[in-house]
Structure 1
Amino acid sequence: MGVQSLVVACGAVALCLALTTATNPGFVVRITQAGLDYANQQGIAILQKELAQLKLPDISDKSGKVRYQLSRLRLRDFRLPYSRITPISNVGLQVSISNAFAELDGDWRVKLRFVRAHGSFNLKVENVYIKISLRLGSDAAGKPTVSTSECSARISKVRVRFSGRLGWLYNLFHRAIESRLRKTLESKICDIVDKSVRNELQKFVQTLPVTARIDAKTGIDYSLVAAPRATAQFLDAGLKGEFYSLAHRSTVPFSPLPLALPSDHDRMVYFGASSYFFNTAGIAYHEAGALVFEITEDMIPKDSRFSLDTSLFSAFIPQLEEMYPNMPVKFRLSTPTAPFLTIGPGGISLNPIVEAQAYAILPNSSLAPLFLLSLTGNVSAVINVRSGRIVGSLDVGRIRLSLKDSAVGTFEVRTIQSLMNILTSSSLLPRLNARLDEGFPLPLLDRIQLSNILVRFYQNFLLLGADVHFQPRG
């Protein structure tokens, strides 16, 4: 478990998120050296605690005519003064530990013909060098995989001090013991690494949510489609980054454009969310029927000083009052096509088309169609990250109206311009923003928290930067 803890914390940041669609990713994650340094710091602290529980097997052997046995080996101290995690091109990550120091205690027993002796000993291991290479990949389901591609441990110096009598006897076998202990420790370290990677780290990285359910109607596909790409400065991972309807997943009619993240290194991790990522959200919600909203009398703010009924329209649609006198009115707003947004240095903008169908609610609760309006306007978005989720809010400029159909005769739509502005700003927009404030989950491994958030806009993508905090269990 010891070496595994270092690797887990490393993987917790390095695999904190993962990779692409068929050609270009819709969502990109970059782990910088600062992120890997943090993982190293956290992992070393955990490793030093767990190495205190490392147990070595008893050793029985013969050196010349001396038979000896070492037992009850106990690790008293283990120091890792220098370590580093670095990305390796086309492989994954390398964990390097140098100048490590360990101290052990144990019991000894020797036999030379009729001479027998026993006592305790102290073992100091100095200048320990460990190198671990981790290969990162993905399985058929798009979940991350990790394996040990290389492990080497080298101990430069081992010193044994025996307590007890018969000092001349110790010298007959202490060099053999030092050599044996060196080989045993070197082998044990890499055995622990390999076992921990297979049994513990692999299980941990599988906590990456390659699909994230958002609500009852939609989800996000965060599956890896290729292994993370390592360079000398960072580790890049591209995800599919695609929203989909839970009821029916259809093929997106367009492809993501290439994403070229800037060479920022102030934060530990960066997320590149492309316009493709957000536009598939519009398609998913449209296909799921989630972009249909109704506005009724009970949604009108109390201070609006009007009632949503046919008398409200009598001044400019007199025939409406004659046909349906003093009857409640309901608007059903929907989008004929999925909204499409653009991302540029100035932010996120979209010009959605919304259709507003007005109905009179008859005494028997049936609906009588009145007129159909087309609404267009400039919409801007504010984006942030909170509790590991992308959150946002919309702001709508002046709405433009046009009459598409009417069962109550023609009329000048500008006469109800103010009314529609009030209805959308007081009823529709708050409902949309309430949903956006719930946010959409980022692809984070278990026990990863984000802080020090940075939000920037570039052509075709939104860049989110953050520092990482790994929360150990317990």
Structure 2
Amino acid sequence: MGAQSLAVAGGALALCLTLAGATNPGFVVRITQAGLDYAHQQGIAILEKELAHLKLPDISGDFRIRHVGKVRYELSRLDLRSFHLPYSRISLVPNVGLQVAISNAFADVAGNWRVKIHFVRDHGSFDLKVENVYIKINLKLGSDTSGKPTIDTSYCSTRISKVRAHFSGRLGWLYNLFYSAIESRFRKILESEVCDIVVKSVYRELQPYLQTLPVTAKIDAVAGVDYSLVAPPNATAQSLDVELKGECFSLANRSAVPFPPLALSLPPDHDRMVYFAASSYFFNTAGFAYHAAGALVFEITDSTIPKDVGFHLNTTTFSAFIPQLEKMYPDTPMKLRLSASSAPFLNIGPGGLSLKPVVDIQAYAILPNSSLAPLFLLSLTGNVSAVINVKSGHIVGSLNVGRMKLSLKHSDVGTFQVRTLQSIMNIFASSILLPRINARLDQGFPLPLLDRIQLSNILVQFHQNFLLLGADVHYQPRG
């Protein structure tokens, strides 16, 4: 193979690898500035508590005073009584992550001091007022190999502008000299310790909390949903976008989905703290999973028909439409087996959600020995619309059936007019089948939520190929 051929082959391979690595999300979580501000309030409260427990090391050393000589000093039992962060803000840094800026923070420190000058010794207590503390923190966002989000402190700096001290003791003239000697050292130690606490707090508190985002969530006994990140969170000037796989799968046997997710283009809405974009891919993989698991099969017998329907499921009822039934199977109970011939495909557009399912209806006569005698096979098609909402952290819905059309696919009882069965099949669909499906849809699909997060002020919008849910959030602390 020549050099040119090798170059072409290499370029084709690189293109294939690039395309293989480019995965559109099936689900996107967008956190707006309002959502970040709320999360920031919770985080600052935690950081304040962490700083209040800061342990400062003892400080000792010596210095020389003109005409006096060497002075040996020691500061011990340093107690940080409080650390207050009254002013702070969080901002988005595009393509980097988040930045937290804290200004005008202040702290109170108490402790004991001891000095030695030749043969003179003195000791006492002191109070420090640490004022005008400025802290800047950069947070880098990423994802681990399991698809969970990660966060790390990529930069931290602390600057203390003012430290005021009050010492108790007899040698008043010495204290100012003593204080000026150790102030710079104390300032550097405190600045270093504050950033150390910030790094540890992010590692111990924030990172484990982000790990509560479910990579997989169980929908029910049949299916689950994959919420692993397909890329690290992306910070823009307006929001933080988290792209998730958003793929439903059968718990019994996960198989490859035969269609790809389409690209999503979210509108620039920022009225809510968080937005969830659930693509048509997300819902259609659910249909694919349930169909592959054999869960889209419903059997109807006379015992499952509500009493207020007013008829029984037997050949006597159906002989009004198919007279030969009464001759072949007189007064015989029947069973209807409804199954989707293929996975239902949901369409999402500005007008809402809709699908056109194709359902096979196989009718049987239940013989005295409990065996089944096939009677006829119908195909039912219709227009179905959906109503969507959010309840208890789940996307819930209900279906409404429009006009339905019947056709005969096969008959074991001779020919008959299918249109005469239209009304009775409408009753089966609306009174029996639809309530079963809606009862399942009311359980919903779990949203990818961090631990102890509740949603309120729900907004539902429909866009081309995706459903957009907006909400405000509330964090519910433990205990």
Shorter-chain TM-score above 0.5: yes
8 A Cα contact 1:311 1:326, kept in partner: yes
1:42: Cα distance to partner?
Answer: 2.1
Measured in 2, the distance between the counterparts of 1:300 and 1:166 equals 97
For the pair shown, which has the larger CA radius of gyration, 1 or 2? 2
User: What's the secondary structure of 1:187's corresponding residue?
Assistant: helix
Are residues 1:336 and 2:303 paired? no
Measured in 2, the distance between the counterparts of 1:182 and 1:231 equals 36
Q: Which runs of 5+ in 2 are unaligned?
A: 1-19, 65-69
1:147: Cα distance to partner?
Answer: 1.4
1:157: Cα distance to partner?
Answer: 1.1
Residue 370 of structure 2, aligned match among 365, 382, 385 = 365
Alignment deviations for residues 155-196 of structure 1 (CA, whole Å, 9 cap, x no partner): 111111111221112122201221111111110011112223
Are residues 1:442 and 2:452 paired? no
Seq. identity, %: 76
Alignment deviations for residues 289-338 of structure 1 (CA, whole Å, 9 cap, x no partner): 11000111112121222111000011221211111111111100000100
Alignment deviations for residues 272-293 of structure 1 (CA, whole Å, 9 cap, x no partner): 1111111111101100111000
8 A Cα contact 1:24 1:257, kept in partner: yes
Give the structure 1 partner of residue 380 of structure 2. Answer: 375
User: What's the secondary structure of 1:56's corresponding residue?
Assistant: coil
Give the structure 2 partner of residue 79 of structure 1. Answer: 84
1:390: Cα distance to partner?
Answer: 0.7
Residue 221 of structure 2, aligned match among 216, 222, 231 = 216
Are residues 1:190 and 2:202 paired? no
Alignment deviations for residues 101-139 of structure 1 (CA, whole Å, 9 cap, x no partner): 111111111111111111111101111111111111111
Measured in 2, the distance between the counterparts of 1:339 and 1:176 equals 78
Are residues 1:60 and 2:60 paired? yes
Q: Which runs of 5+ in 1 are unaligned?
A: 1-19
**TM-score, structure 2 as length reference:** 0.92
8 A Cα contact 2:47 2:198, kept in partner: no
Q: 1:49 to 1:146 in 2, by over 3 A?
A: closer
Measured in 2, the distance between the counterparts of 1:306 and 1:264 equals 52
Bigger CA drift: 35-44 or 381-390? 35-44
Measured in 2, the distance between the counterparts of 1:280 and 1:200 equals 35
Are residues 1:468 and 2:454 paired? no
Residue 454 of structure 1, aligned match among 445, 459, 464 = 459
8 A Cα contact 1:159 1:178, kept in partner: no
8 A Cα contact 1:269 1:468, kept in partner: yes
**TM-score, structure 1 as length reference:** 0.93
Measured in 1, the distance between the counterparts of 2:263 and 2:255 equals 22
Amino acid at match of 1:128: V
8 A Cα contact 1:21 1:239, kept in partner: no
What RMSD in Å do the two structures reach over aligned CA positions?
1.4
Give the structure 2 partner of residue 26 of structure 1. Answer: 26
Alignment deviations for residues 239-266 of structure 1 (CA, whole Å, 9 cap, x no partner): 1110111222222121111111111111
Counterparts of 1:67-106 in structure 2 under 5 Å? 67-106=72-111
Provide the aligned length of Structure 1 versus Structure 2. 455
Counterparts of 1:95-244 in structure 2 under 5 Å? 95-244=100-249
Amino acid at match of 2:377: L
Give the structure 2 partner of residue 13 of structure 1. Answer: none
Give the structure 1 partner of residue 323 of structure 2. Answer: 318
Measured in 2, the distance between the counterparts of 1:219 and 1:157 equals 56
1:400: Cα distance to partner?
Answer: 0.9
Give the structure 2 partner of residue 385 of structure 1. Answer: 390
Residue 297 of structure 1, aligned match among 302, 316, 341 = 302
8 A Cα contact 2:51 2:197, kept in partner: no
1:67: Cα distance to partner?
Answer: 1.4
1:21: Cα distance to partner?
Answer: 8.5
8 A Cα contact 1:21 1:225, kept in partner: no
Q: 1:21 to 1:284 in 2, by over 3 A?
A: farther
Give the structure 1 partner of residue 8 of structure 2. Answer: none
Stretches of 4+ aligned residues off by more than 4 angstroms: none
8 A Cα contact 1:74 1:106, kept in partner: yes
Measured in 2, the distance between the counterparts of 1:427 and 1:57 equals 73
Alignment deviations for residues 74-109 of structure 1 (CA, whole Å, 9 cap, x no partner): 223322121111121111111111111111111111
8 A Cα contact 2:60 2:75, kept in partner: yes
Measured in 1, the distance between the counterparts of 2:77 and 2:473 equals 41
Alignment deviations for residues 389-444 of structure 1 (CA, whole Å, 9 cap, x no partner): 11111111122101110100111111111111111111111110111100111111
Measured in 2, the distance between the counterparts of 1:341 and 1:204 equals 34
Amino acid at match of 1:465: G
8 A Cα contact 1:66 1:172, kept in partner: no
Amino acid at match of 1:262: P
